[in-house]
Amino acid sequence: MLFTNPAASRRPYDPALQRVMNLAAARESRQWLAGWTQLRRGSTPLHALPHLARQLGLGQLHLKDESVRSPLASFKVLGAPAALLRLVLRQWPDAGWAPADLLAGRHADALAGFTAISATDGNHGRALAAAAQSMGCRCVIVLHAQVSAERERPIRALGAEVVRITGNYDDSVQEAERLARAHGWWVVSDTSYEGYEDIPRDVMQGYGILVDELLEQMPGNPCPFTHVMLQGGVGGLAAGVVAPLWERYGAQRPTFIAVEPQQADCLLQSAIAGRASRATGSVDSVMAGLACGETSPLAWRFLQPAVDHFMTVGDAEAEAAMRTLASGAAGDVPVLSGESGAAGLAGLAALMADPARAAQAGLGAGSRVLLISTEGATAPGVYEAITGRSPASVLQAQAEWMARPLHT
């Protein structure tokens, strides 16, 4: 399904929104995290995919590859650590601590009694656990019934305490909030709710690092992309990308298309209702990072006026997109993209296979499209079962492709 958002408009970035999220704060987060041992040095790659673009009938196609952002293999490592840093600095305003020193564990003694807690589908929890381990504070992660043991093990390995519940992601969010109130802990979540916006805002500012890098990798005016495909979830990543691109390009911003699982369509339902809403399906998808049932109200304030189209894809379409990227069959660089990471390509391929929907979205031979592969093989067993390839074999094929004298 493709739904054109009647509330989207072309106008300068709203000053009220700019006070909440802006490029300056994203750039500051980038500087704070730059020396952290859990992050690679420099920007993640922006791959051109010219052969796949031709196959799909597009002018240009680029992919921002977050699989190599960190050993944690996900863009989430930008959000939770940035938010945890800002939270700690707010709690100790007179301490004069430098973010680099916090991440190096130099104030671990002072933080020994501080506990961060969050619900997760996997990647956000790993990122928060890694940041807490580096800083020396306690971390508790709430996992719902659909989170696999394969995703749980890396969280425990980073020193976090895991609480298991029955129910889905939204139930785990409520349990994390209950535990935080009961014990005096701090929720570090990427989804907002009434009375809780500062930390989700800081998470989204961390995601804005992606755009700060993109503006260096492909500078220019007008925007080098006509369309940006955005993974859905609660809306945090989408808002973290939309806001800085809207700030930079104003009324000349690219067309934004949000993609989410058919059974976890909370953003689509929000666009139809005109307010932050819940999904209509089971919220159980192979796209685990997008299997969210309720839109973040804070994120929706940015998405409602700027995302032009909302769409859903099936699990089989996401799996096919994973295989396309892994194989490099079109002749482009092979990319290690996980279930949620490939959702943008799944949505794009579905649109280009339907001329009417492609026309509705303004996609065609002159379009210059950006994909964000948000994760690598964060569950290696699931990845290999879907693609028929081990993560190591895809990375080897990528290295061999990159070593060619000419990338043709």
64 catalytic, yes or no?
A: no
- Given a contact cutoff of 8 angstroms between Cβ atoms, the answer to whether 312 and 260 are in contact is yes
CB atoms within 10 A of CB 351: 26
CA distance 384 to 146: 19
Q: What is the full DSSP assignment across 219-286?
A: --SS-S-SEEEEE-TTSHHHHHHHHHHHHHHGGGPPEEEEEEETT--HHHHHHHHTS--B-SS----S
Q: Which of 65, 121, 170, 190 is catalytic?
A: 121
| Tokens encoding 121 | 């589908």
Rg, the chain, Cα only: 20
| Tokens encoding 110 | 């002072």
Q: Is the peptide bond before 222 cis (omega within 30 degrees of 0)?
A: yes
Residue 198, SS3?
Answer: helix
Q: Which of 65, 76, 308, 332 is catalytic?
A: 76
CB atoms within 10 A of CB 218: 15
Residue type, 206: G
Give just the sign of the alpha carbon dihedral 286, 287, 289, 293: negative
- Given a contact cutoff of 8 angstroms between Cβ atoms, the answer to whether 108 and 131 are in contact is no
CA distance 242 to 35: 26
76 catalytic, yes or no?
A: yes
- Between the alpha carbon of residue 350 and those of residues 2, 183, 204, the distances in Å are 10, 47, 28
DSSP code, position 41: S
- Given a contact cutoff of 8 angstroms between Cβ atoms, the answer to whether 379 and 122 are in contact is yes
User: Residue by residue, what is the 3-state secondary structure of 328-394?
Assistant: CCCCCCCCCCCCCCCHHHHHHHHHHCCHHHHHHCCCCCCCEEEEEECECCCCHHHHHHHHCCCHHHH
Which positions are catalytic?
76, 121
